[in-house]
Structure 1
């Protein structure tokens, strides 16, 4: 990134601002020495941020948006007492931390890939490596381990275990470099758990709070808000996702009476990259425009980014149908898109669309990251990044409700992404995943071009994620006008089932299910099935479309 600064009315030479690098992380760790963090040690991101993270303005304050529930939460007194355990010679009779000699697991062994050899065959063979986690590894003063089973199997702080908090803090600064100083990270029970906590921090049923999201949104997110008494309203979309002009229109013309008594929303929930279900990816310009609208209306943003690192090069098909998305970079490629998978870590990071967090000068973004889509879903480990004030509220909630993610899961993730791979190895893993998902995306798109009737079915090639959103023209149905869109959708859904293919009905993702459908859509995914089965499934879907629309 290069900026030009202005001094006394003249332009100074272009300079490259300093920020954290991979080499810088290594140097800082070497200078700091071995991390000492015993059972239930408290930590926070300020312990691990680089000097480049400071010297920036602080975030705005958000008490005026907090719920009464959140404002009423004080710190957990038992967790606060743990800070005294670091005093030399302290014998604890205070905390309910069981003795590790009574834990029945003495060691865990894992076989994992060695970067950059990530395939299953390579991992099974001599290029894989075995790592072992013992109960008391961290007690060896000459060893490298700082996190072991005696710590991971015990109670911990709700912010997360210090070694993994250090890693996610470094990773966040490396990739996003938030432009304000008092940002912090906290570990979460995946992104769904993080969303539930965030909703309860910012929304009150009693005051009629509501949130905005894309008109088609992640169904589980909608189902998370509903039992909390939070109304959800949809905002119009196009091929790049959320349309900022529609967002501004909704907020500018908000009428509580017309919205069933719901207050003007103060929260936007959005999935900017590879949006679920549509697969849409917001360009940098689109993200800036969405952020500007939120500033105008004082709306806080939940940025859910499980697919952020699954951004892909532009799709170019044999018939010239190409991906029109742009990532907002001027890197010399058509439409601003990456022409080829990145070959270096620097190219990979440069190819990613800057996040909302990275342009968040106000501290109005709570970003949710997760290992679920890029390592293992069952880990149930993720993290949030937000201002210190918001993260403090988040931790207070966790202390009383879930106490943070599983210690064993944190230990396994730390052993893999930090102690074994390191930041460089993890980024190489993400580069590997991008190539894998690019190939799968290209497979399903080629199958669509081959097997789907193009006058009936259309799509935008996804630039990220694992979903392809198919739009079917209902006007060509034999009984168009006599039957509803929902009836056509249901007919096509069960015809697909009869032909042996499952595609998800678009109506299941409506932010406002009581409103009429805006079109006929189906969500497909290229994440799970083999490439040969992907092609077979699309062929079956095409046959179902032809049958329902009288083309057989």
Structure 2
């Protein structure tokens, strides 16, 4: 659909909070738009002169965009030596660039501008880059959408909370969700109403149920009008919402006039179905360099179906460049962008200018197709890590598979882990054995969501002061491996485990070296056995 064929967004300003409606443009920040006017003499603001900036130039050796293979060419044979080799960069190929204090040509990224006070929208160059990228990759379905830079998705969501929710309001969130998102809302007295997850992600049927059955008296608040969702590599469950499911969710949100906040840091870490190592084929086909074909293979964003302008998309460079650049962007309708800008003017202001300059020049150096090539390579890297981690679980435990008929794994292949005994029970079945945990292979992101079983623990059913989930978590930590306890991620404040049959842990495969992954799983197996035996 061409830009001229798209509808304009509808007026959704009634969703703005009282605080947001009361915000006025910052008087001094309003002057910033005139600073770049040629020939203008700047006598209004307290801007330091660029000659006083202590950086004359920054020279960068950036990785080439094809540093990581976008397909697996051979079986991974990780070793401690190879990890040390890569750690010290001895195999890295780089491309240099320099950001100078003063531009040599109009439009050049330069430190005189980057290190100066700037509009809270962010630098013009980076906004142009991200807008072109958004148009190409996400293809918003309406005409008048806008880009606004922020300092990472956590900051972006924090701004959204106060822009769209009043104290005491409710928001909608997946039943398991990112804890910091809830923590941002908590001080405002904003609670989360959990929506069920099934094998395809956020359940549209349950979303409609929650909204249609909402009782303001019982809930002590109005029906929620903001949905917070992590649709790709969902944190913590690792699921990815299909295009059809997104259409269904969007239709429910139109019906009940709900704003969708699409927090999507793992969008380019989408993964194919996991295949056990013994059945995995070695890929030897030549790499297809068609960037558009790759982009079409990705599950589309909610923006693709957003013909009304009710989606606020949060993108970040944290997973594609580096978390420390503290940089990302909103995509939303112009009314929402203006209100989010007003908040930024009196809080974070513009993201760090140095980070903006480096990222902008990096993307200019790589060029659009080079950046997309890197994103594809990163996706394969994390897929390899996921596969290796699950391969290790197969090696350390006796794994049986089934297809779940309920809960957030409905319709997915479930892997049940039992102790590896080496006896007849392992060869012919698991009758009489203790099931340790279950999981599904994530279809994106950086995490595996493990469901642990405590019914064989000596204290099961006695409701100890500390939950068995937390007791086991402490034993893992003492043993030398740190996992994230499952109850951290519960959107339901009442869903805190207390002597229950099941517990959950989020485990990440994104950071540890391959040898450390193996050592970590050895620790999990040893600690789990001792814990369930009551030792």
Using structure 2 for the length normalisation, give the TM-score: 0.84
**Residues 96-115 of structure 1, C-alpha deviation per residue, up to 9 Å, x if partnerless?**
22210111111111111123
SS at match of 2:28: helix
* Paired residues of 2:68 and 2:381 also in contact (CA < 8 A): no
Q: Does the 8 Å CA contact 1:56/1:181 hold for their aligned counterparts?
A: yes
- Superposed, 1:54-69 pairs within 5 Å as 54-69=4-19
Corresponding position: 1:276 with 2:242: no
- Counterpart for residue 433 of structure 1: 378
Name the residue aligned to 1:97. Answer: 47
The counterpart of 1:525, out of the listed 497, 508, 517, is 508
Distance change (3 Å), C-alpha of 1:273 and 1:415:
same
Q: Does 1:186 align with 2:148?
A: yes
C-alpha distance in 2, partners of 1:165/1:275? 27
Aligned 1:201-350 pairs, distance under 5 A: 201-205=163-167, 208-259=168-219, 261-318=220-277, 344-350=290-296
Corresponding position: 1:421 with 2:366? yes
- The partner residue of 1:110 within 32, 57, 60 is 60
User: In 2, distance between residues paired with 1:187 and 1:497?
Assistant: 38
Is residue 116–residue 425 contact of structure 1 (8 Å, CA) maintained in 2?
yes
Q: Is the 8 A contact 2:487 2:496 kept in 1?
A: no
Q: Deviations over 1:450-479 (max 9, x none)?
A: 224343311110011000001123334343
Is the Cα contact below 8 Å between 1:279 and 1:469 reproduced in 2?
Answer: yes
Answer with 311-320 or 107-116: which moved more.
311-320
Q: Is the 8 A contact 2:67 2:377 kept in 1?
A: no
Contact 2:318 2:324 in 1 (8 A): yes
Partner deviation per Cα, 1:406-448 (whole Å, 9 max, x = no partner)? 111100100111x210111111111110111011000111112
Give CA deviations for 1:105-156 in whole Å, capped at 9, x if unaligned.
11111111123135958975684122111100x2435xxx622000000011
Aligned-pair distance for 1:79?
2.9
Inter-CA distance 66–435: structure 2 relative to 1 (3 Å threshold): same
Establish whether residue 538 from structure 1 lines up as the match of residue 513 from structure 2.
Answer: no
Comparing 115-124 with 351-360, greater Cα deviation is found at: 115-124
Query: Does residue 74 in structure 1 map to residue 74 in structure 2?
Result: no
Counterpart of 2:328? 382
Displacement of 1:197 in angstroms is 0.5
Q: Distance in 2 between matches of 1:423 and 1:343?
A: 13
Check the 8 A contact 1:97/1:155 in 2, yes or no. Answer: yes
Tell me the SS of whatever aligns to 2:5. coil
Query: Which of 238-247 and 146-155 deviates more?
Result: 238-247
Alignment of 1:351 with 2:297, yes or no, is: yes
In 2: Cα distance, 1:399 partner to 1:412 partner: 22
Indicate how the Cα distance of structure 1 residues 551 and 126 shifts in structure 2: closer, same or farther if over 3 A, else same.
Answer: closer
The answer to whether the Cα contact below 8 Å between 1:123 and 1:129 also exists between their aligned partners in 2 is no
Matched with 1:331 is none
2:411 aligned partner? none
Where relative contact order (Cα < 8 A, 6+ residues apart) is larger, the structure is 2
Aligned counterpart for 1:487 among listed residues 460, 463, 467: 467
Conserved? CA contact 2:233–2:239, under 8 Å: yes
Deviation per CA, 1:317-376, whole angstroms, max 9, x where unpaired?
14779xxxxxxxxxxxxxxxxx99975322321111011111111111000000001110
Maintained 8 Å contact 2:264/2:315: yes
Partners of 2:356 and 2:524 in 1: CA distance:
41
Residue matched to 1:398: 344
Q: Judge conservation of contact 1:117–1:123 (CA < 8 Å) in 2.
A: no
**Residue pair 1:237, 1:243 contacting (<8 A) in 2 also:** yes
TM-score normalised over the length of structure 1: 0.82
In structure 2, runs of 5+ residues without a counterpart are 70-85, 398-416, 419-434
